[in-house]
Amino acid sequence: MTVWFPTNNSGPESSNNLPPSSAFWLSPMASAISHFVVGAGLALPALRSASIRQTLPAWAIPLISGILAAAPDLDTFLMSALDIPYNSVLGHRGLLHSALFLVIVNSLLALAAAHGASPAAARLGALWSCCALSHPLMDMLTDGGLGVMLWYPFSEHRLFFGWRPIHVSPLGVRRFFAHAAYILKSEAPFDLAAWTIGQAGWLVSGLRTSSGSRAPGQ
């Protein structure tokens, strides 16, 4: 969910619940895993959609949805490559985390994947937009970094939820694994919730499909 900036324990970037020995830098690493898991889980009901299945193979539906849910953190690479300040519109958790931007981009991707306007494009656009929107909402639950420009361009305020139970992760693989249990434990309830919701949707849509297919003969 976040990047290359050190936190301190004062001001908006404070990370209140980190272990006291941690000189924490924020990185996208563990959060990218959770963003992917949440996006893939939320996509499970789409496996029942005939129009989406005509557009994509089953394996690609959770895979692409997970990737699109993690994709907003590509802004970290943009910042690094172009030396963009974190707190600017093009910085981390700025434009690429805006709800309107994510809906537009994912709708366009769906149009391209479905080769034009169609029920599949509409359903795929809705699915990918929902999965992508899970990203800024999860970022708003983290205890470090700057807030999210969720309503850009209508507002440049950076937002957090009042409840921020997800811990940020340190930069680098070794540092991450040194705190992996601490980080992943804070993210696990949200991963589990997304897969529970996705599986429930998958089951319900299966029941609707089977009752619909039986109806004409009854």
User: Which residues are at the interface with Zn ion (CB under 5 A)?
Assistant: 1, 73, 139
Task: Count the residues in the chain.
Answer: 218
Q: Minimum Å distance from CB 216 to Zn ion?
A: 47
Q: In this chain, which residue has its C-beta nearest to Zn ion?
A: 1
**Contact predicate 45/119, CB 8 Å:** no
Distance CA 65, CA 43 (A): 6
**Beta bridge partners of residue 159, listed in sequence order:** 148
User: For tokens 């696990």, what's the residue?
Assistant: 188
Q: Minimum Å distance from CB 142 to Zn ion?
A: 8
Q: What radius of gyration, in Å, describes the C-alpha atoms of the chain?
A: 19
**Contact predicate 27/5, CB 8 Å:** no
Q: Minimum Å distance from CB 183 to Zn ion?
A: 15
Q: Please, which residue, 92 or 179, has the CB nearer to Zn ion? A: 92
Q: Please, which residue, 139 or 187, has the CB nearer to Zn ion? A: 139
Nearest to 26 by CA among 218, 168, 183: 168
Q: Minimum Å distance from CB 1 to Zn ion?
A: 4
Q: Minimum Å distance from CB 145 to Zn ion?
A: 8
Please give the distance of CA 84 from its chain centroid, rounded to a whole number: 22
**Contact predicate 80/4, CB 8 Å:** yes
Q: Please, which residue, 120 or 133, has the CB nearer to Zn ion? A: 133
Q: Please, which residue, 52 or 190, has the CB nearer to Zn ion? A: 190
Q: Please, which residue, 43 or 86, has the CB nearer to Zn ion? A: 86
Q: Minimum Å distance from CB 91 to Zn ion?
A: 11
Q: Please, which residue, 61 or 140, has the CB nearer to Zn ion? A: 140
Return the HEC string of 154-213.
Answer: CCCCCECCCCCCECCECCCHHHHHHCHHHHHHHHHHHHHHHHHHHHHHHHHHHHHHHHHH
